[in-house]
Amino acid sequence: MNSSERENIKAAYKATFTKKIEEVSGNCLADASLLKQYQALAEMVMESITSQWAKTNTLYNKNESKQVYFFSIEFLIGRLMKSYLSNLGVEELVQECSAEMGLDYEAILAQESDPGLGNGGLGRLMACYLDSSSAMGMPAHGNGIRYKYGLFEQRIINGEQIEVADNWLKNGYPFEIRNPDKSVIIKYYGQIHSENINGNLTFVHENYEAIMAVPYDIPIKGYRNETVNSLRLWSAEPLEAFDLPSFNQGHFLNAVRHKSEAEAISQILYPNDNGFDGKLLRLKQEYFFVCAGIKRIIVDFKRSNNNSMDGFSDKICIHINDTHPALCGPELMRVLMDEEGLGWEESWKITVAAMSFTNHTVLPEALEKWPVDMMKDLLPRIYMIIEEINRRFLLDLDNEFPHDLDRNHSLSIIRDNYVHMASLAIVSSHSINGVATLHSKILREETFNGFYQVFPKRFYSVTNGVSPRRFLMNSNPELKTLINDSIGPDWDHNLFDLKKLLNYINDPVFYQKFDAVKLSNKVRLANYMARYNNVTVDPNSIFDIQVKRIHEYKRQLLNALHVLYLYNRLKENPNLEMAPRTFIFAGKAAPGYYYAKEVIKLITAIAELVNNDPSLHDKLKVVFLANFNVSLAEIIYPAANISEQISTAGKEASGTGNMKFMMNGAITLGTMDGANIEILDAVGPSNIVSFGLSADEVHHYQKYGGYRSIDIFEQDPRIQQVLHQLIDGTLGYGLSFQAIYDSLLLYNDGYFVLKDFNAYADAQNQVDHLFRNPTIWTKMSISNVANSGIFSSDRSIADYQREIWKII
C-alpha cells in the first residue's frame, strides 16, 4: 500500500468512527465519553468481522471438514478488542488514527470489561485453544456458560481478601450476539415412563421442570486469516417471564419466583480452582450447557446431512475439558436413542468415537463425584443411562478379568452411592489425556492406573501451550518489535522460528536492546504498583514474581517464608551483598478456603514489615497485587525476571503461567513438576534454576511415610526463627498465623514446605549470583524466549489434531 492509499484509508476510518460515535451516543466526538468511544470502536470491529464469520459458518454448515467442540465450564477469554484489531491487521492504523484524533487509545481499550468466566488454568487454556484453532484455520468451537457474574473481584483491605461481585455485563457486551432462535429447552426432575410405541420401547419424561438455554455467540477471529470460529455461551431463562396462573390469582411473588430460579443456573461461576463442592446448582449448570450444546450440534449436523446421523463421529469431535462436562456421554446416548431412535450398541459406538477427555488435576479433592440420589432426582433419564453404561462396562470387565471383585468395584462408575465423573468420562471417551508428560505418567501409573490396565491405548499426553499472540505479541509489543527487527516478522506463524534469536546469543548490541525492553516493561509494572499499592520499587531490582491461584500445593508459603528469612539475614547484616529484590505476588483465594486466605494475610503482613523498614536500604520489597486477572497478567509477565513455579512435585498438572513467563524472558525458578520439566528440556539446565524433591520422592514419602517436619525444624535455626515469627507478633501487633504454623509442625507439613526450604534458599542464592552477572543473565533470558516455541498453543492444537481428533 502506498502512502496516499494509506492516507485514504485513515481518512475513511476517522469518518466512520466519528459517525459511529454519533450513532452510539447521540453526541459528537468531542463530547463522547471513553466508554462511548470504546463502544463505537467495538461496533466497527464487529462489522468488519461478521461477514467473515458468516462465511466461515456457511463453510462449516456444509459439513465437509471435521469440527471440534470444546465443552468447558470455564472460558477465561480476557479482553478481546486488542486481539480483534491485531488479528484483523488494523491495530497500528487504529492506534495512529486515534492519536491523530487526540484520543487515548490505551484508555479506550481499558473500558472493556475483562470477563472472568473462569478461575484459572483450566478456563484460560480453553481461551488459548480457541485462539489457536482460529489462527490455524481449524473448525473448533467453544460451548460454555454465560455467567452473569464471573469470578469475584478481589480487593485487599487491611491485608485481607474481600470479594466483590464481578458485574462484567453492566455496560453491555459488544462482542456477543444473542441467538434466541437457537434456544434449547432443558428438562430437570420429573419421572421417566417407558411406553411401547409402535412396538418400540420408548422413554417418556413427565412432570419435569423446563428452562430455556439461550445462546450468545462470540466470534473468535483468526490471526490474519479468514477464519472466524464461535464461542457459544448459554444463558438460562424461564420459558415464560411470568407464571400467569399465579399472577392472575394475585400471587405476584410466586409469579416471578420461577424466573429467578431459572436464571440462577447461569447466575454465577463457582469460585473454586482445583476443588469440588458438590452443590446441586453446580450439577444443574453441568447438565445445562451439556444438554444445550449437544442438541445444537445434532440439529446443525443433521441439517447438512440429509437429516441423518450417518457419519456423525467422522465429522464431530466432542472434547470435554475435565469432568464438568462428562454428562456429554450419557446425554449424547439419550438423544441418539430417545430422539433419534438408534439402538444402544450403535449409539454407544458413536458416542465413544466422538468423545475425548482431558484431565487437568490429580488432586483427590478435585475429582468430581455426585450423590446418586441427587443425580437420580435431578436427571432421572440421564441417571438410568449412566447405570446402563456402568452395567455393560462391568460386564465387559468381568469377561476380561473374571471374578476380580476388587477391580470391578474400584472401576465402577457408580460406587459407594456416588457417580464418579472421571470414571464416566474415561469409559465414554476414546481418548484420555494429561496436560504434561509427568502428569500423563501419573494418570497412567497412579490416578487412573486401573483404567489404564483396561484401556491402555486410550491414554495420551498433550503438553499445554499458551497463545503467543496474547502473551507475547500483544502484551509485549516492544519485544515483538525487537524480534521482528532481528529475525524478520515470519515467526508470527511459527513460534519455533524464535530459535533464530540464538544467532544473537553473543551479540552485545542485541543484549542492550533486549535489556532495554525488559526494563521498560518493569517500569510499566513499577508505575502500576506505585499507583495501586502505593509502593515505590526499583525497576533495576530483580522482579521475582509468583502469580497464580492461592493454593497450598502451589506453595506461596514457601516463597513467603523465604522472604522472611531474607529479611532476617538483612537485619543481621545490613551490608549483605545481594541484588535488590522485589517479590511480587498476586492471586485469588477461593472464598471458603480459610488457609489460602491466611496465606494472603501473611504475605501482606510481610510486605508491611519489609517495605516500612528503612534499615533494609530498599534491598527488599514485597508487593501483593490485588485482583489478578487476564488483563493484569498481561502487564505482569513481560516485566518478570524470575518466574516462581514452586509447587510440590507431582501436584501441578502442567502450569501455563510458567510458559507465559518464559516466552517473555523470565528465568524459571522451579520444582521438577508439571511442564517445568519440559521447560528444562527446552532451555537446558543452565538456563533454569531448579530445586527440590522429585515427584517420585514426594510419592514415596506420601505412600510409605518417613518425613517428619519437626526434625527439620529442630535442626535448622533459620526455620525456627521464621516459624516463631509467624506467631510472636513480629508481623504486627496481635497478628498470629497459628493455623499456618500448625500445618507445618503439628500436621507434619503435607506439602513439604520445610523439606524443600533449604534447597529453595540455595536456589534463590544461585539466582542472586546469576543476576549479578548481567551478561550471563541476559543470555539466559534470551535463551528462554528463543526456546519457547514449543509452548505455543498452536503446537498443542496441532498435537491434538494429529493424535486425538485425527484431523490431519
Contact between 656 and ligand OAK per CB under 6 A? yes
Taking residues 306 to 345 in sequence order and writing x for each that binds ligand OAK by CB under 6 A, - otherwise, the string is: ----------------x-----------------------
Asked whether position 654 contacts ligand OAK by CB under 6 A, the answer is yes
691 to 750, contacts with ligand OAK by CB under 6 A?
Answer: none
Q: What share of the chain is helix, strand, coil (3-state, %, to 5)?
A: 55, 15, 30
652 lines the binding site for ligand OAK (CB under 6 A):
yes
Residue 604 or 796 with smaller CB distance to ligand OAK? 796
Among 78, 115, 120, 139, indicate the residue that binds ligand OAK (CB under 6 A). 120
Tell which one of 361, 475, 559, 709 touches ligand OAK (CB under 6 A): 361
Closer by beta carbon to ligand OAK, 608 or else 803: 803
**CA nearest 623: which of 631, 634, 639, 124?**
639
Q: Shortest Cβ distance from residue 773 to ligand OAK (Å)?
A: 32
Q: Is 118 helix (H, G, I), strand (E, B) or coil?
A: coil
- Provide the minimum distance between the beta carbon of 276 and ligand OAK in the complex, in angstroms, as a whole number: 7
Quote the least distance from Cβ 438 to ligand OAK, whole Å: 11
Q: Which of 674, 755, 790, 804 binds ligand OAK (CB under 6 A)?
A: 674
Q: Which is nearer to ligand OAK, 266 or 676 (CB)?
A: 676
**CA contacts within 13 A on the Cβ side of 209:** 16
Select the span of 18-26, 591-599, 650-658, 798-806 touching ligand OAK (CB under 6 A). 650-658
- As measured in angstroms, the least distance from the Cβ of 368 to ligand OAK is 8
Helix (H) or strand (E) holding 407: helix 405-411
Using CB atoms, what's the residue nearest to ligand OAK?
121
Three-state DSSP at 371 gives strand
Stretch that binds ligand OAK, among 421-429, 588-596, 646-654, 718-726 (CB under 6 A): 646-654
Q: How many CB atoms lie within 10 A of CB 489?
A: 12
Q: Which residue has the cell 440421564?
A: 382
Q: What are phi and psi of 393, to 5 degrees?
A: -65, -45
Q: Rounded distance, CA 351 to CA 88, Å?
A: 37
Q: Which is nearer to ligand OAK, 464 or 648 (CB)?
A: 464
User: Which positions from 237 through 276 interact with ligand OAK, judged by CB under 6 A?
Assistant: 273-274
| Stretch touching ligand OAK by CB under 6 A, among 14-22, 359-367, 595-603, 746-754 | 359-367
Confirm or reject binding of residue 127 to ligand OAK (CB under 6 A): no
* 190/655 with CB nearer ligand OAK: 655
- Per this entry, what is the length of the chain? 808
Q: Which span (117-125, 287-295, 739-747, 795-803) binds ligand OAK, by CB under 6 A? A: 117-125
Sorted by sequence, the CB contacts under 8 Å of residue 425 that are 6+ apart come out as 320, 323, 326, 329, 357, 432
Window contacting ligand OAK (CB under 6 A); options: 79-87, 234-242, 526-534, 647-655: 647-655
Q: Which has the closest alpha carbon to 633: 517, 549, 518? A: 549
Using the contact rule CB under 6 A, the part of the chain among 296-304, 622-630, 651-659, 712-720 near ligand OAK is: 651-659
Contact 696, 648 (CB under 8 A): no
Nearest to ligand OAK of 532, 553 (CB atom): 553
Neighbouring C-beta atoms of residue 407, cutoff 10 Å: 17
Least distance in Å: CB of 135 to ligand OAK? 19
Maximum Cα interatomic distance, the chain, rounded to a whole number of Å = 91
DSSP 52-87: HHHHHHHHHHTT-S-EEEEE-S-------HHHHHHH
The binding track of 398-437 with respect to ligand OAK, each residue x by CB under 6 A or -, is -------------------------------------x--
- Alpha-carbon gap, residue 791 to 88, rounded angstroms: 24
d(CA 582, CA 725): 21
In the complex, what is the shortest distance from the CB of residue 674 to ligand OAK, in angstroms, rounded to a whole number?
Answer: 5
Q: How many other C-beta atoms lie within 10 A of the C-beta of residue 711?
A: 11
Give 125 or 804: the residue with its C-beta nearer to ligand OAK. Answer: 125
**Cell 502506498, residue located:** 2
**CA–CA gap between residue 81 and residue 38 (Å, rounded):** 9
Helix (H) or strand (E) run with residue 414 in it: strand 414-415
Nearest to 73 by CA among 298, 414, 360, 428: 360
C-alpha distances out from residue 92 to 34, 178, 305, Å: 19, 31, 43
Q: Least Å distance between CB 140 and ligand OAK?
A: 17
CA distance 261 to 615: 59
Helix (H, G, I), strand (E, B) or coil at 650: coil
Write out the catalytic residue numbers. 360, 548-549, 554, 656, 660
Q: Which residue has the cell 480457541?
A: 130
360 near ligand OAK, judged by CB under 6 A = yes
Minimum CB separation of residue 278 from ligand OAK in Å reads 13
Q: Which of 142, 655, 665, 692 binds ligand OAK (CB under 6 A)?
A: 655
Nearer to ligand OAK, 222 or 655 (CB): 655
Cα 592 to its chain centre, rounded Å, is 20
125 binds ligand OAK (CB under 6 A): yes
Q: Contact region for ligand OAK (CB under 6 A) — 295-303, 339-347, 638-646, 654-662?
A: 654-662
Contact assessment for residue 123 and residue 76, using Cβ atoms and an 8 Å cutoff: yes
Under the criterion CB under 6 A, does residue 72 sit at the interface with ligand OAK? no
Q: Is 121 in the site for ligand OAK (CB under 6 A)?
A: yes
Spatial separation of the C-alpha atoms in residues 188 and 284, rounded to whole Å: 8
Residue number, 438 or 482, with CB nearest to ligand OAK: 438
In the bound complex, what is the minimum distance in angstroms from residue 22's beta carbon to ligand OAK? 44
DSSP state of 65: S
Give the shortest CB-274-to-ligand OAK separation in angstroms: 5
In angstroms, what is the minimal distance from the CB of 447 to ligand OAK? 12
**Contact call for residue 122 and ligand OAK (CB under 6 A):** yes
Q: HSE of 699 in the Cβ direction (CA atoms, 13 Å)?
A: 14
The C-alpha atoms of residue 722 and residue 713 are separated, in whole angstroms, by 10
- 416 Cβ partners below 8 Å, 6+ apart? none
In degrees rounded to 5, what are phi and psi of residue 171?
A: -100, 15
Smallest distance, ligand OAK to C-beta of residue 454, A? 23
Closer to ligand OAK at the Cβ: 360 or 597? 360
For ligand OAK, the binding residue among 464, 467, 475, 709 (CB under 6 A) is 464
Q: Which is nearer to ligand OAK, 73 or 397 (CB)?
A: 73
Grid coordinates given for 241: 417471564
Strand partners, 237: 212
Closer to ligand OAK by Cβ: residue 242 or 553: 553
> What are 738's three cell numbers?
497459628
The count of chain residues that interact with ligand OAK, using the rule CB under 6 A, is: 18
d(CA 428, CA 657): 31
CB closer to ligand OAK out of 231 and 606: 231
Task: Say if residues 138 and 807 touch (Cβ distance below 8 Å).
Answer: yes
Q: Give min distance, CB of 754 to ligand OAK, in A.
A: 23
Q: Which residues bind ligand OAK (CB under 6 A)?
A: 120-122, 125, 273-274, 322, 360-361, 366, 435, 464, 652-656, 674
